Amino acid sequence: MRIYTYSEARQKLADILEESKVDEVVIRRRRGDMFSIVPKSPLRRSPFDVHGLSKSITQKEIVKAIRESRERPKKKLQRTAKSRC
């Protein structure tokens, strides 16, 4: 474990962050407050991953609902176009 003063940490921040990947790094302020720098592990998931729902619905039903929702705006647009003619 390596302890840096606040002033040292400001000057060497990039180096300290790299060092924190290997060993614990502590920054001490003038009043004695101490802070530990610990790297956070990167998420290896897609940002599009979502938690599943606890519903009893099949894949076919989901696809059907999506297709229906995509068709709805088209029908409204067609009705609007016909009513203007």
Rg of the chain over Cα atoms, rounded to whole angstroms, equals 28
User: Model pTM?
Assistant: 0.47
Average pLDDT, the chain: 82
For 40-71, what is each residue's pLDDT tens digit?
A: 877 677 766 667 767 788 889 989 988 888 88
Stretch 21-36: mean pLDDT = 92
Sign of CA dihedral 13, 15, 18, 19: negative
Q: Is 39 left (phi over 0), alpha (psi -120 to 50) or beta?
A: beta
What is d(CA 3, CA 32) in angstroms, rounded to the nearest whole number? Answer: 12
Query: Quick one: pLDDT band at residue 78, thresholds 50, 70, 90?
Result: low
